[in-house]
Amino acid sequence: MADRNVELAYKLLNTPIDPNLRCPLELSEIANYVEGEMGETIHYFASPAQDRGVDVIYAADANGDLTAVKVPLKSVAALAYEGLQSNLDYVLITELLNSKDQGALAARKNGIIRAMDNEEVRRMLNLCFVASQEVTKDTGEDILDVIIKMKQKVSDYANDYILLVASDVMDAIERYDKENVTSFNYKMSIHDEIAKLGIKKVVKILGNSGYNDGNTPVLAAGKAILVGRDSNLTSSKPLSLVRAKFSGEVATNSGAAEGAVRLISVADAPTVVNANGKNTIGYGVYGFEGLIEVNLNYRAISWSDEIIA
């Protein structure tokens, strides 16, 4: 049994992240990715370009709530790792005995991986909404007008933009040319106009998050976020994702490989599970990681929830 659990933990359920893509694809577009040691203090250094009175950065806590961290001039702020933990899912032994699908544990692992990835993205996008660069839609304006205003909001602080949109916003962009073809006085395409603004890519954000019900959209309907990936205030991308690496005794005792940044594991042995009011035997499956998500340059981000209102 011990050998079997080791095999499950390492072959199926250890580090679920592609070594060539260490964080969700959406985050790789807008956030710098860093791995830190357990117990290491992560500091944010205020750059001289940000010396405009007391500046503010925003960090997401374990519940996805936002905490303002004041950064004194030419000083540093320490950020703490927060735990991201999945529900304890289970697969009953009786179901495994009678199932044609003997990959149930791997299927639960994959579900937890997707849920944790989505939750990481949701928290990071929530940080973007804290930014003061909100854009509203005025009378007579359409979706292209709002996108132009979003770009103008950050143009003094960023370039090389990426636009993150909800599914209904992407649908509106795709319908734009057809719906306005009779009113155009000259040949134009919304995709061409977006490209002229320096927006290199439009990314549709899919999926749900929320460990309680799984029905919380990663990006709610009608919302769009513009992120400038280069800026005059910070190098590279304005957002950062830091994951803690499991090391030493923690790695050994948790079943994680040395240096792994996410633990997805099964219980060491079948345990008693209370399912539908009855005690039965099953394998528990869970996920855990320690992370920091931080918005280092809110001036390089604009957003709107009225883009198609």
Q: CATH number for the domain including 138?
A: 3.90.1690
Which residues, in sequence order, are CB contacts of 147 under 8 Å at separation 6+? 163, 194, 197, 199, 224, 226, 307
Which one-letter DSSP state was computed for residue 299?
Answer: G
Domain assignment present for residue 309? The answer is no
What is the tens place of the pLDDT at every residue in 222-260? 999 999 987 655 567 888 888 888 776 665 555 555 557
Q: Which of 238, 244, 243 is nearest to 295 (CA)?
A: 238
Q: Is the Cβ–Cβ distance between 157 and 196 less than 8 Å?
A: no
Domain assignment present for residue 269? The answer is yes
Q: Is the pLDDT of residue 72 over 80?
A: no
Look up the domain containing 71 and give its range. Answer: 2-304
Q: Which of 221, 290, 255 is nearest to 81 (CA)?
A: 290
Domain assignment present for residue 196? The answer is yes
Dist CA 281 CA 264 (whole Å): 20
* Between 238 and 164, residue with greater pLDDT: 164
Using only C-alpha atoms, what is the Rg of the chain?
22
Lowest mean pLDDT among 9-13, 102-106, 262-266, 270-274: 9-13
Task: State how far the alpha carbon of 139 is from the alpha carbons of 172, 242, 276, 309, in Å.
Answer: 18, 42, 54, 10
Q: Which of 246, 242, 244, 234 is nearest to 293 (CA)?
A: 242
User: Sign of dihedral through CA atoms 157, 163, 168, 172?
Assistant: positive
Counted domains in the chain: 1
Domain assignment present for residue 160? The answer is yes
Mean pLDDT score of the chain: 77
* Between 26 and 151, residue with greater pLDDT: 151
Dist CA 116 CA 13 (whole Å): 14
Lowest mean pLDDT among 12-21, 35-44, 182-191, 223-232: 12-21
- Mean pLDDT, residues 124-128: 91
Tell me the whole-structure pTM to 2 decimals.
Answer: 0.78
Q: Is the pLDDT of residue 23 over 60?
A: yes
* Residue 203: CA count within 13 A, CB half-sphere: 23
Q: Is the Cβ–Cβ distance between 6 and 256 less than 8 Å?
A: no
> In this structure, how many other beta carbons lie within 10 angstroms of the beta carbon of residue 26?
23
Dist CA 15 CA 263 (whole Å): 6
